[in-house]
Amino acid sequence: MWRGCCRLILIWFKKRERERKGEMLSGSLPLSWRSSCSSSNSSSGRQAGGQRAVGSEAHRGGAGPRCSSNGMGLPATDRCSAQLDTTLQLLRIEEGMDAATAPKQAWPPWCPLLFLLLLPGGSGGSCPAVCDCTSQPRAVLCAHRRLEAVPGGLPLDTELLDLSGNRLWGLQRGMLSRLGLLQELDLSYNQLSTLEPGAFHGLQNLLTLRLQGNRLRILGPGVFSGLSALTLLDLRLNQIVLFLDGAFGELGSLQQLEVGDNHLVFVAPGAFAGLAKLSTLTLERCNLSTVPGLALTRLPALVALRLRELDIGRLPAGALQGLRQLTELEIHHWPSLEALDPGSLVGLNLSSLAITRCNLSSVPFQALHHLSFLRVLDLSQNPISAIPARRLTPLVRLQELRLSGACLTSIAAHAFHGLTAFHLLDVADNALQTLEETAFPSPDKLVTLRLSGNPLTCDCRLLWLLRLRRHLDFGTSPPACAGPQHVQGKNLREFSDILPPGHFTCKPALIRKSGPRWVIAEEGGNAIFSCSGDGDPAPTVSWMRPQGAWLGRAGRVRVLEDGTLEIRSVRLRDRGAYVCVVSNVAGNDSLRTWLEVTQVEPPNGTLSNSNITTPGIPGPFFLDSRGVAMVLAVGFLPFLTSVTLCFGLIALWSKGKGRVKHHMTFDFVAPRPSGDKNSGGNRVTAKLF
C-alpha cells in the first residue's frame, strides 16, 4: 500500500518537473508540506549517496523509490516524505539545474492534500491477526478460525463480518455496537444457544443476518431490537421449538425469513406481528402438524410462501385466506396430503402453485377453479393417472403445467382446450403411450414439451409431433419410441422427413365379435349385449341409447370395461335399438342391436312389476285356477279320511256291545187327587220305540 502511494506521487511529480524544464525553482517547501512530510536530513555525503542510489534505481526500473525502512526508525509517512525530497533534488540535477543557486518555487497548495488523500485512511482500528481484511474491501473474514469470542480491534468501517464456522457460544449486549456501518453479519455454524436482548444493538445499518447451524431454542421479544434495516434473517438448522408472540416485532423492514430444519411445533398467533414488509417465508422440515393460519394472517405483504417436508395431512378451508398479496405457494413433500379441500385456496390470487411429491390421486379441479390468474401449475410426483377433458378451462391464463414423475396413463382429447396462452407441458417419466394432437387448442403455439421416459407407441397419433419436432423444445432427452418393434428405441429427432412404408401408420377399427343382435328379456330381468373390435391402435367400445345419448359406465344401464352393455331390471321403456360403436384414430365401425321386453300379466288382468318392491314388506299374492284346484285337493283328502275313520270306530264299538235294542219299557202311576186320601193311582206300563 505505501509503496504504491509513493510510486504514484513520484510519477506525477516527475512528469510535472519535466513540463517545467528551463524554469527556475526557488523557495522552499511550504510549511504544510514540511509538517506532513518532515524528516531529518542526513549529512550531505549521505544525502549524495542516497541520491545516487535512488537515481540508479530510477534508471533501472523507471519507478519511484521504495518506501522501505532506512534503519533510522522513522514512521512510514516520514520515510516516504524524505524520499520524495531526495527524488525531487535528483530530478533537478538530471535536468541541469543548480539546486544550490536556483530559486525555489512554492508548491501548489493542493499537492499536500493530494498526497494525504492517496495515503490509506484511518479505519479506527487495525485488522485482527486471525482475520483476513485484504480479500474484499471493507470486509473482515474470520471464518473457521476456531474463535471462541468475537475478536477485538475490528475496523470501524467494516461492512461485512464473517464469523462462521467458529466456536462462539454467546453474544452479549453491545458486543458489536461499535460497528455502526456493518451491513452483513454471518454467525452461522457456531455454538450459539442464547441471544441476549439487545445483542445486536447499534447495528442500525445491518441488512443480512445469518444464524443457521447454531443451537438456538427459543426466540423471545427484544432479541432483534435495533435491527431496523434488516432485510434477510436465516434461522435454519437450529433447535427452535416455538415462536412466541412478538418474537420479530422489531424487524419492520424484514423481507425474507428462512425457518427450516428446526424442532418447531408451535407458532403463536402473534409471532409474526410487526413484519409488515415480509415478502418471502420458508417453513420446512419442522414438526408442525397444522398450518399456522392465524400467524400467517399477520403478514399483509407476503408474496411467496414455501411449506416443505411437513407432516400435515390437510390444508383446511380458509387457512390462507388473509394473504391477499400471495402470488407464489409451494407445498412440497406432504406424504399425508391425499386431496385438497374445495375451499382450501379461497381468498388467494396465485400466479404460481406447486403441490409436489404429495399423495394426490387426481388434479384438484374444485380447489383450483377460481384461480383465474394462475400461470404455472406444478403437480409433479403425485399418483395422478389421467387428465380429463375440459376440466382446466377455468384457468384461462394457465401457461405451464408440470406433471413429471406421476402415474399418467392418458390425457384426454380437449384436455387443454380453453387455455389460449398454454405453451409448456412437462409429463416426463409417466406411463403415456400416446399424446394426441386434439388435446391442445393450438399445437403450433406449444413451445416446450417434455415427453421423455414414457412408453410411446409411434403410430399415426404421433404424426403431429413428428411434424413439429424441429420447433419444439424437448429438453435434454427427446421422446423415444417404445413400439412398434421396428422403431423401438428410436427418438423422434432421428426420423427423416420422408418416412418409410409402415412407419407411423394405424389400422381402422372393425367389429369382429358380437352377441345376438335380437335380445328378448322379461320385464324385471337382465339383458346383456356384447361387442368387440380390432384395430391399431386398439379401439374403444361405446354404446348409444335408442334416442342417441351415449351410455356411461355407471347406473342401471352401463357399459362394462370389456365393452359389454348390461341392462339390469329391464323395464318396458328400455325396449328399442342399441348401437355399438368401435372407434380409434384411424376410423370407426358400428353395429345395431334390438331389445324386446315381454310383459308379465296376473290372472285378474292387473299388470305387475316384480321389480318394484318395498324392503321388509312381502309383495301381493295371486292364485290361478291350477293353484285353486291344488288347494282344494289338498284340503278335501284329509277331510274324507277323518270322516271314514270316525264311522269305522263307531262300527267297531257297536259290534263289541252285542245286539242293540231300539225300544224301552217303563211304568207310570198317576198321582192321587188332593182331596181323596183313600183313592190310589193306577199303574201304566208303556213301551217307547
Convert the pLDDT of each residue in 307-316 to its tens digit. Answer: 999 999 999 9
State residue 379's pLDDT score: 98
Contact 425, 454 (CB under 8 A): no
Q: How far apart are the C-alpha atoms of 246 and 270, rounded to whole Å? A: 6
Helices 44-61 & 76-94, crossing angle to 10 degrees?
Answer: 80
Cβ pair 130, 153 in contact under 8 A: no
Identify any residues that bridge with 528 across adjacent strands, giving them in sequence order.
566
Query: How much of the chain exceeds pLDDT 70, in percent?
Result: 72
Q: Which three cell numbers stand for residue 569?
A: 331390471
Q: What is the pLDDT of residue 670?
A: 57
According to the model, what pLDDT value does residue 560 have?
A: 92
Q: Which runs of consecutive H residues, i.e. helices, occur in 551-624?
A: none
User: What does the pLDDT read at residue 4?
Assistant: 45
Q: Is the peptide bond before 394 cis (omega within 30 degrees of 0)?
A: no
* Cβ-contact 162, 140 below 8 angstroms: yes
110 CB burial (10 A radius; 0-12, 13-18, 19+): exposed
Query: Running DSSP on this structure, what letter comes out for residue 126?
Result: P
- The region of weakest confidence among 139-143, 286-290, 587-591 is 587-591
Higher pLDDT, 674 or 375: 375
Calculated CA dihedral for residues 568, 571, 575, 579, nearest 10 degrees:
-30
- Which of 237-246, 388-397, 549-558, 614-623 bottoms out in mean pLDDT, i.e. has the lowest? 614-623
**At a CB cut-off of 8 Å and minimum separation 6, what does 495 contact?**
466, 469, 503
pLDDT value at residue 88 = 47
* 23 vs 250: which has the higher pLDDT: 250
Mean pLDDT of 286-303: 94
Given pLDDT bands bounded at 50, 70 and 90, which one contains residue 74? very low
pLDDT at 399: 97
The answer to whether 429 and 453 have CB atoms below 8 angstroms apart is yes
| Mean pLDDT comparison of 11-15, 437-441, 547-551, highest-scoring range | 437-441
Q: At 547, which amino acid appears?
A: Q
pLDDT at 197 over 90: no
Q: State the pLDDT at residue 681.
A: 52
Mean pLDDT of the residues in the chain: 79
Residue that wins the pLDDT comparison between 95 and 336: 336
As a whole number of Å, the CA-based R_g of the chain is: 54
pLDDT for res 69: 38
Secondary structure class of 666 (helix, strand, coil): strand
Distance (Å, whole) CA 85 – CA 82: 5
pLDDT in tens, 352-384: 999 999 999 999 999 999 999 999 999 999 999
The pLDDT confidence band at residue 82, using thresholds 50, 70 and 90, is very low
Task: Dump pLDDT digits (tens) for 596-647.
Answer: 999 876 655 544 444 444 444 444 444 556 666 776 776 777 777 888 888 7
Q: CB count, 10 Å around CB of 382?
A: 24
Distances in Å between the Cα of 156 and the Cα atoms of 122, 177, 578 are: 10, 10, 92
